[in-house]
Structure formats: C-alpha cells, structure tokens
Amino acid sequence: MQTVRQKVIGGHLLLLGAGALIGWLYGHVDWGILAAALVGLGWNLRQLLRFEAALSSKHFGSLKYGDSIWSRLYSRFTYQRQSIKYYRKSYRRLLKEVRKSTNAMPDGGIVLNSDFEIVLCNKAAQALAGFRRKKDRGQRVDNILRDPAFRKYLLSGNFSEAIEIRSPISETGWLLCRIVPYGADQKLLLIQDVTERRRLSAMRREFVANASHELRSPLTVISGYLDALAEDSEVPEAWHKPLLQMQTQAYRMNNIVAELLELSRLEGAGAAPIDEIVDVCGLLSAAKKSVAGQKGVANVAVDCQSDKKLHGSSGEIESVIINLMSNALRYTPEDGSVTMTWQCDADGAELAIVDTGVGIEPEHVPRLTERFFRVDAGRSREEGGVGLGLAIVKHILERHDAKLVIESEPGNGSRFACHFPLSRISDIEQVSTVGKL
Ligand code: ADP
C-alpha cells in the first residue's frame, strides 16, 4: 500500500517525467518540465481554492470522496471539528454539573483572583452574605464583607485558620470565613452560617453562668455553717471527721463554681486590654516566692531572659502562671524540678513552664484544655484538681491573641508554652534584673 506522501510525490514526479518526455520529443526538455510544473501548480491551486470555498460555505461536495490529499485533509478536518464539538458539549455539561452542585452546597463559595477580586460565587454566597453573582464580579471581596477583622485577615496572608464575622445582611447572623489558596495565586473563600452554633453556645454559657451564680449563695451558707460547726467545741467527736470531709467537699464545690464563673466571664469578654502593661518577670518571681519553703514540692526556678513587658491583663496572666505552675508542681515529684522561662525574639514572646514530672500520654495532649478533662480523674480529684484550670488558661491566652503549645513525654515531664504575638509585646524595655532569679 502506498502512503499519501508517496502517492503525492510519485504523482508529481510522474507529471514532471511526462513533461520532460514530451519536451524531449519536441527538442525542449526544459520547457516540457516547466509546463508540467505549471500544470501541477495550477491543479493544486485550484484544489486549494476549492477547499477554501468549501470551508467557508461548509459544502464539501466532491471533496468528501476520493483518495486525494485534499479529500484526506477534508476528512481529518471534519474529524477534528466533530471532536471539538464533542469536547465542547461535554465541557458544557460538566460545567453545568459543577454549577448545579456548587449551587446545591449549603455553604457559600466564592472564587477570588490574586487581588481578592470576585471571579464567581455560588447561590449560598448570595443568600448568606448578599453577594450578587453578576454585579459583584470584579469587586474586591472586602467591599462586600466590610468587617475590619475580615480585612485584617485578608491582609495578614495567613489563612491557616478561619475567622468568624458578623453577617453583612443580618443583624444577628454570624459567618465563619475560611480562605483556601489554590492554583496560580487564586483563592477560594468558603462561608458557613454559624449563627445557630453561636446561639447555642451563648445559651450554654448563660446557663452555666446562671447555674453557677445560683449555687454560690447556698454554698456560702453551707460553708459558713460547716466552719461554725467545725469550731464548735460542743460538737461530739464522732462528727469531727464527717465535718472535715463536708468542709473539704464544700471548699471543692466553691472552687468549681468560682472556676465556672471565671470561664463564663472569659468566654464573653472579648480581647484583653492593651493599655495595661504586664510585668511577666515580676509575676514569675512572685509565683516562685509563693511556694518557697513549702515542704514536699519540687524545686522551682525562674529564667527571665528578657525584660520586655506584655500588653494585657496582669491578673489573668498571673492566673495562667499560677495554674501552670501548680499543675507542674502537682505532677512532679519532690526531687524533680519546675522551670519557668520568659523570652522574646523577633516573632514574639514565650512564657514556658517546664517540669520533670510524670508527663502525659500523647493521645491525651489534644484534650487537655477541654472542660473537666483529666488524664487520671481519680488522682486529679485526690490532688484537688477539677479539670478546669487549663480551659481557663486557654481562654485567657485567646484573649491575649496567644496560643498554648503543650509538649510532653510520659515519665520525662511536660512543657507548657504560651506564645504571644509581637503585637502584644510592649516596646518598653527596662535594663535591669535579666537572668536567673
Ligand atoms: P486539674 O485541675 O485537674 O489540674 P487542668 O485543666 O489544670 O485540671 O489539667 C487537666 C489535666 O491535665 C490534669 O488532670 C492532668 O491530668 C493533666 N496535666 C496538667 N498539667 C500537667 C502536668 N504538668 N503534668 C502532667 N499532667 C498534667
């Protein structure tokens, strides 16, 4: 079987050969070849013009048939045209499916370009935040979601976490916004309605606060009577032990109620003040002094590597230190050690409490800041623990834009580090007692 190329080249060579032969017969071989070449050129030109006319009229007539190169070009052309049609059709169908499925999503989805301008959005984005699918195309997204916290989130460029903002179209609505970068500097903004979740959590907070508040007065009365009875010399001896137990339990309940009230206050309190300056080194030294001389506790050391101060609530930071230090002492044997450090660098500051105590199994670490979570409830209760201390620490740190990082190894101790951002570090630095205290 001859290939098309062989046929075309062979045909043209044959034509030139025939021209040369006829030219030779007439004594002018060169004229013969030239005439044959002109015939070939003319034929090809005619075919080209026919093909071009067929392309514009879409009427291919005789080009459809035969075995010439032009017929082959025609069949290749129609094959490719049909493939394009087919792909275009399936692409349209796919696009329709994608559009249908994104419109069926309960969460809002908005595609943004590298300048945070809206490329497209789904129906839920319209319903949740008032995005208009056509009119808002090309607008910067923070022109629609005008919350300052959202603008700050966009500018920060750190999208590892989501933020909650008020809905721009409902006074009581709340939206959870998360940006997911993808492709060549494009972003997908996902919006979720968290109004109901926030309402339920506010209800729970209110209930806990009210219940704790209501328990406070009867507990004070009970504790008062128990204290009076414990001091009463007329109370028979057989009652001394039960009375002591009742006093201990009443004291424990008072602590639980106080901690629950503190948690409720922290949850509804917003950001910690920035105009108050906290002397962390001073608080660490005071905490160390408060346990100095106590029998049966591990050695406490303070390593103050920076004299920088913190913007926040002094009372709350003191509570963080006391909570973490008393935990460290509770879970560290007498011959162990607890070291509290304060250091600053270009990224922020770190307050760390490190102990050489019992440590924590890795599976428990992520749950430590949950309310009432205790690794060993029995032991913790015996030690006077309620399981609210670390939850309070977490909330205080959140109020200070800080994070708690816990590292621990069973049998080798734990490290509780509080990371504060630069924005919380005061520029006021005093040259004074920096170093080991
Ligand atoms: P608690 O009042 O029981 O100490 P926390 O919320 O302060 O409650 O701590 C929760 C649990 O975390 C504790 O019950 C304990 O099991 C564990 N824990 C906290 N700090 C330490 C520590 N330094 N070493 C070992 N375990 C710890």
Per-residue pLDDT of the chain (437 residues; tens, 9 = 90+): 567 788 888 888 999 999 999 999 999 999 999 999 999 999 889 888 888 887 787 776 666 666 677 777 878 888 898 899 999 999 999 999 988 898 898 999 999 999 999 999 999 999 999 999 888 999 999 999 999 999 999 998 889 989 999 999 998 999 999 999 998 889 999 999 999 999 998 898 899 999 999 999 999 999 999 999 999 999 899 999 999 999 999 998 999 999 999 998 898 888 888 889 999 999 999 999 999 888 889 999 999 999 899 999 999 999 999 999 999 999 999 999 999 999 999 889 999 999 999 999 999 999 999 988 988 776 666 666 788 999 999 999 999 999 999 999 999 999 999 999 999 998 755 444 444 44
Cα–Cα distance measured from residue 103 to residue 83, given in angstroms and rounded to the nearest whole number: 30
Residue 191: helix, strand or coil by DSSP?
strand
Instruction: Record the tokens describing residue 239, joined without a space.
Output: 């009652």
Residues with Cβ within 8 Å of 141's Cβ and at least 6 positions away in sequence, in order, are 110, 112, 116, 117, 118, 154, 189
Residue written as tokens 């019992």?
358
> Cβ distance 70 to 47 under 8 Å?
yes
The CATH homologous superfamily to which domain 277-436 belongs is Histidine kinase-like ATPase, C-terminal domain (3.30.565.10)
Verify whether ligand 1 is closer than 6 Å to residue 387 (CB atom): yes
Cα–Cα distance measured from residue 141 to residue 127, given in angstroms and rounded to the nearest whole number: 16
DSSP 117: B
Cα–Cα distance measured from residue 306 to residue 304, given in angstroms and rounded to the nearest whole number: 6
Probe residue for ligand 1, chosen from 390, 406, 409, 415 as the CB with the greatest number of ligand atoms within 8 Å: 390
DSSP 226: H
Verify whether ligand 1 is closer than 6 Å to residue 331 (CB atom): yes
Specify the residue with its C-alpha closest to ligand 1, atom 22.
328
> Cβ distance 181 to 187 under 8 Å?
yes
Q: Please list the residue range(s) of the chain that carry CATH number 1.10.287.
A: 200-268
Verify whether ligand 1 is closer than 6 Å to residue 111 (CB atom): no
Specify the residue with its C-alpha closest to ligand 1, atom 25.
359
Other beta carbons within 10 Å of 227? 14
Element containing residue 403 per DSSP (H, E): strand 403-409
> Cβ distance 203 to 224 under 8 Å?
no
Verify whether ligand 1 is closer than 6 Å to residue 368 (CB atom): yes
Residue written as tokens 């009372």?
315
**CATH classification of 105-193 is 3.20.20.80, yes or no?**
no
Verify whether ligand 1 is closer than 6 Å to residue 375 (CB atom): yes
The CA-CA-CA angle for residues 236, 241, 246, to 5°, reads 110
Other beta carbons within 10 Å of 112? 21
> Cβ distance 72 to 4 under 8 Å?
yes
Report the candidate in 313, 389, 318, 391 with the shortest Cα–Cα distance to residue 351.
318
Q: Please list the residue range(s) of the chain that carry CATH number 3.30.450.20.
A: 105-193
- pLDDT given at position 384: 65
CA of 428 to the centre of ligand 1 (A): 34
Specify the residue with its C-alpha closest to ligand 1, atom 14.
374
CA of 203 to the centre of ligand 1 (A): 28
Probe residue for ligand 1, chosen from 322, 327, 380 as the CB with the greatest number of ligand atoms within 8 Å: 327
Instruction: Record the tokens describing residue 94, joined without a space.
Output: 């796919």
Q: Please list the residue range(s) of the chain that carry CATH number 3.30.565.10.
A: 277-436
Verify whether ligand 1 is closer than 6 Å to residue 358 (CB atom): yes
CATH for 200-268 is 1.10.287
Residue 224: helix, strand or coil by DSSP?
helix
Cα–Cα distance measured from residue 96 to residue 92, given in angstroms and rounded to the nearest whole number: 6
Other beta carbons within 10 Å of 344? 19
Largest CA distance in the chain: 154
Specify the residue with its C-alpha closest to ligand 1, atom 7.
389
Cα–Cα distance measured from residue 340 to residue 352, given in angstroms and rounded to the nearest whole number: 6
CA of 397 to the centre of ligand 1 (A): 17
- Is residue 1 packed enough to be buried (19+ CB in 10 Å), middle (13-18) or exposed (0-12)? exposed
- pLDDT given at position 70: 75
Residue type, 127: A
Total residue length of the chain: 437
Q: Which atom of ligand 1 is nearest to the CA of 391?
A: 6
CA of 62 to the centre of ligand 1 (A): 90
- pLDDT given at position 436: 43
20-24 CB contacts, 8 Å cutoff, 24+ apart: none
Residues with Cβ within 8 Å of 183's Cβ and at least 6 positions away in sequence, in order, are none
- Helix and strand totals (H; E) in the chain: 11, 14
